[in-house]
Structure formats: C-alpha cells, structure tokens
Amino acid sequence: MLERVDRVQLVVRDRAAAAAAFAALLGARPVREAGAAYLGARRTVLALGESEVELCEPTGPGPAREHLDRWGEGLLAAGFAVGDLTDLHARLAEEGAEFAEDDGQTYLEPAVTAGMRCVLSAGRAPAPAGARLYEVTNTLVSDWRAAADLYTRLFDLHPSRFAPIRSERFGYVGTLTLFDPPRRLDRIELSQVVAPESAMGRWVGRRGDSLYMGYLESDDVAGIVARCAARGARFTARGGRPGPRA
C-alpha cells in the first residue's frame, strides 16, 4: 500500500527564509504555494529530486502552531505515497483508525500511529534522477515489535520484507519496515532506545515515541557538505562506508 517515502513536512517561522536555505544547501526549488487548513498553515512546497519538502508556516490554531510553540521549528510529519487513497481509507476504517482529509492528502495523528504524524498523498511518477528521501525514523520508548505490528495493520505492510537493526554505538534496536525491496529501499525505521544516555535516548526522554529524522540519498554529498561548511550550518560527517556521508 505504501509505495515510497515521498515527502516531509516541516514547521517553520518564515517560509521564504527556510526555502532559501533548502535551495542553497540542497538545491531544492519551489514548485507551488498551498494552504493547509488541517494544519492551520500556509505551505511552500519544494521539489528535492523525486521528493518534496513542505515548509509549513502557521497561520492560526492547529497542529503546526502547537508544534512550533512546544518544540520550535522542525519535522512535523512523515509523508508517504500511496497507490490508491480510497483503498487506504477503507483499510484505516477497517482498523478503526481516525484520519483527516485536506487538499488531497490524508493525515494520521501521532495518537493513531507510534507517535509519528503521517501525511499520505496519491502516488505520482517520480523524477527520473536526483536526490530522494527514502527513510523516516520513528524513535521509540515503547516496544518496536508493537509499532511494527501497528504499521503492518494500518498500511498493509509485509513483515517478511522487514530487516532487523541494532546499534550499540547509537543505542537502539528495531526494524526497517521495507515497503518494496529490492526494487526500492523506502522504509520506516523503528528504533527503540536501549541506551537512555544516547542522543536518541535524550530525544525520547523529552518527546517519547516520535518522528526523529529523515534520510536523503544524493549523488552530491560532498557538495552538500561543502555548502553546509561555507554557511556555518551544523552537520556531522561520517565515514566507514564507500562514498561520503553526512
């Protein structure tokens, strides 16, 4: 049912300033402006290779304002492309999961998932080349197995495709809920914290089960690192595998 990770929504104070930063660092380009009545926000939608980034600036009460007031700017929702929204709605209704519709998108609140707000959009033909989002991380205090079972039921995923994960360095255990391997590697990473003193542990100590981060694939990581360094942006360069990562 889930085809790919196709977008993220971020809450920002200033859409224009945020869009300029994404353009300068990642080469993202504005493609449209849109309202988001459900979020209580105005959106600037950026194309980032085959993916989109929605910059949501609050215009009144709603989830965007609540997130900004409580946590500040940052990730608001993980977004997925779905082959048929009608089938999705039938599946969610069958599972007794509440959802909301707005501007052709379907929203699930954190209370319905494992703490991660989701926005689901109709699938579209991806761009032939360029950067792409392929993972969102749902970090957990709760049992990752229960979260995996929940997403399996909500989105008709196939546990036989999942890949177990464990990191002593970063202090978590869980699974990658791969949607369609090996053709694509899009997935939700479910990471249950086992080391409270870790960065992820400190995060869940404040926020509980929640959306933690996203992964972007690019053939220009070295260029991104150079642009981040030139602008004084915070990043951590990581090695140990072929090709640069940040």
Share of the chain above pLDDT 90, in %: 90
CB 143 within 8 A of CB 61: no
Q: Which two tokens stand for residue 209?
A: 């089960």
237 confidence band (pLDDT: 50, 70, 90): confident
Q: Which two tokens stand for residue 213?
A: 């981060």
Domain coordinates in residue numbering, the chain: 2-231
126 confidence band (pLDDT: 50, 70, 90): low
The yes-or-no verdict on residue 244 having pLDDT over 80 is no
Residue 71, C-beta contacts closer than 8 angstroms, at least 6 positions apart:
207
CA-to-CA dists, residue 225 to 20, 24, 25, 219, 245, angstroms: 17, 12, 8, 12, 9
User: Rounded distance, CA 97 to CA 157, Å?
Assistant: 16
Query: Which CATH fold topology does 2-231 show?
Result: 2,3-Dihydroxybiphenyl 1,2-Dioxygenase; domain 1 (3.10.180)
Instruction: Determine the average pLDDT of the residues in 176-193.
Output: 98
pTM of the model: 0.93
242 confidence band (pLDDT: 50, 70, 90): very low
User: Rounded distance, CA 160 to CA 170, Å?
Assistant: 25
Name the average pLDDT for the chain: 94
DSSP track, 192-205: EES-TTSHHHHHHH
Q: Reply yes or no: is the peptide bond before residue 182 cis, omega within 30 of 0.
A: yes
pLDDT in tens, 112-123: 999 999 999 998
Q: What is the pLDDT at residue 241? A: 52
Instruction: Determine the average pLDDT of the residues in 13-39.
Output: 97
